[in-house]
Structure 1
Amino acid sequence: MPLQFAADVSTAETDYGTVLLDQRSGRYWELNPTGTLVVKALLRGAEEKDAVEALVAEFEIEREQAARDVAALVETLRDSGLVTA
C-alpha cells in the first residue's frame, strides 16, 4: 500500500540513507540505504511487493528476507506514527 509521511515528519537524505524527524516528539529516525529504497518506492505509490522486488534486484538478497524486512519497516513506520496509508 502506498505511504505518505505524516504532516509533522521532515526528511533529509544523507550519504548513509535518510533521516526522519518527528517534529511532534522531537525524535529522529535513520533509514539505511535499504530502508531508504523501500520508503522511496512506497512514497512513489509502489506496493510492498514492488518494494520487495526492488530490494532483491538492488541488494541481491533472498525474496523471503526482503519481504520480512519490508513488512517490518512498514509496521515500524506506522506504529511510530511517521506515515499514513
Structure 2
Amino acid sequence: MPGIALSPFVTMVESEDGMVFLHQRTGRYWQLNGTGSETVRLLLSGESVESAASRLQEKYPDASDHALSDVTELVRQLRAAKLIAR
C-alpha cells in the first residue's frame, strides 16, 4: 500500500510535541506524539507501510520487533477515524 493522503475535510498542523489533526466536519481532533508524527510524514511523502516501518526500525532499533505492526495499527486507526483517504 503506497503512502496515505489526508481526507478532504481534515487539516493537520505540526505541534511542539508532534502533530494534531482536526476533522472539520465532526469538530474532533487527534494528537500524535513525535514518533507517530514522523510515521505520518513518511507515509504522506509516499512511503509504503513497509518502507516506513523499515526506516523506523533503522532509527529506533530497540523498537524494531514491532515497527511494522505499530505502523499498520496507526494507519488502521487513522482510517477508522476517517482522517486519511487511502
- Residues of 1 paired with 2:56 and 2:4: CA distance? 17
Q: 2:32 matched to 1:31?
A: yes
Identity, % of aligned positions: 35
Q: Which residue of 2 aligns with 1:84?
A: 85
Letter in 2 for 1:45: G
Q: Structure 1 length as normaliser, TM-score? A: 0.92
Q: Which residue of 2 aligns with 1:40?
A: 41
The unaligned stretches of length 5 or more in structure 2 are none
- Cα pair 1:5 1:83 within 8 Å, conserved: yes
- Residues of 2 paired with 1:14 and 1:20: CA distance? 10
| Number of residues of Structure 1 aligned to a counterpart in Structure 2 | 85
1:37-71 CA distances to partner (integer Å, 9 max, x unpaired)?
11111111111111111211222333331111101
Q: Structure 2 length as normaliser, TM-score? A: 0.91
Q: Which residue of 2 aligns with 1:15?
A: 16
Flag the structure with higher strand content: 1
